[in-house]
Structure 1
Amino acid sequence: MTDNEETLYDHVGGDEGLHRVEEIFYGKVLADPVLKALFPHRRPHHVEHLTWFTAESLGGPDRFTSELGFRHLVDVHRGLDITDEQRVRFAELYEEALDEAGLPDDEGFRAAFRSHIEFGTRVAQQNSRARTEEELHPLREVPKWRW
């Protein structure tokens, strides 16, 4: 990436754009019957943490890593036993939230974001089913997504 190449984070409007999408998305998962078991109630800092994670993934500040650490992400998914149906529904609702939040709809951005969500949901699913440390996905840092 060159110094003047726009990051995905910049393309979505930074924290403001991401916070908007995460707030909409979180409302959707809390109300969704397929995801209710994974999101039984609103947690006070969930939208903020989702925003931090997504921002860092898309080339923004490293607040998630510096404030929470990647292990936090592993730990919150352990034992959830995410089903294929739940994983797919999570991705669908994220896509809907992008539209509702007014994030860019150009194909380059959407393809990158879909790839990010697909990868992330698979890592979360694997970690949710892991009974031992060895069964965890080997990823141990926030992945960086680019165009």
Structure 2
Amino acid sequence: MESLYDHAGGHDGLHRFVDIFYADVLSDPLLQPLFGAGRPEHVAHLTAFTAETFGGPDTFSRDMGGFLGLIDVHRGLRITEPQRRRFVELYMAAADRAGLPDDAPFREALRSHVEFGTQVAVQNSHAETDDQLHPLREVPHWDWPASAE
């Protein structure tokens, strides 16, 4: 079975998706305060992170600071549950607008990926000490849901 990365259209498909998503986040009144004016490298970083988690190249871990850098970026943001839910909503809507595959197994994997990732981000954003951080310390690897095998 092909990887989620290949199924999503590889780097080009994921970059198109993340570019749409990031523009939505920056214009959303609930999420924009977390992102400020935005960072030019954010689309490349989120694309590389998603690619790596979906079975693509390890560019995020190798060249972009990896997961420990991601933890540092989220610490102190104090992400709320409404912000987390809105992030998931915009993420899934961007998948539609970017033309990512809409088959049920892929969308189930995409949703579980963003749900898990946002839960980790919320926990890390509230951590005042290292022992309050989520135990995950490396880029997770996502695969097809068991129902697709």
In structure 2, C-alpha distance between the alignment counterparts of 1:8 and 1:130, rounded to whole Å: 31
Q: Match for residue 78 of structure 1?
A: 75
Aligned pairs, how many? 143
In structure 1, C-alpha distance between the alignment counterparts of 2:66 and 2:98, rounded to whole Å: 27
1:116 aligns with 2:100: no
Q: Match for residue 96 of structure 1?
A: 93
CA offsets 1:11-41 (integer angstroms, 9 cap, x no match): 0010000000000000000000010210111
Q: Aligned match of 2:45 in 14, 39, 49?
A: 49
Deviation at 1:44, TM superposition (A): 1.1
Q: Given the two structures, how large is their TM-score scaled by the length of structure 2?
A: 0.95
The percent identity for this pair of structures is: 63
Deviation at 1:42, TM superposition (A): 2.0
Q: Gaps spanning 5+ residues in structure 2: where?
A: 145-149
Q: Aligned match of 1:61 in 57, 63, 67?
A: 57
Q: Given the two structures, how large is their TM-score scaled by the length of structure 1?
A: 0.96
Q: Gaps spanning 5+ residues in structure 1: where?
A: none
Q: Which residues of 2 match residues 7-46 of structure 1 at below 5 A?
A: 7-46=3-42
Moved over 6 A (4+): none
In structure 2, C-alpha distance between the alignment counterparts of 1:36 and 1:57, rounded to whole Å: 25
Q: What letter is aligned with 2:116?
A: F
RMSD value, Cα: 0.5
Q: What letter is aligned with 1:121?
A: T
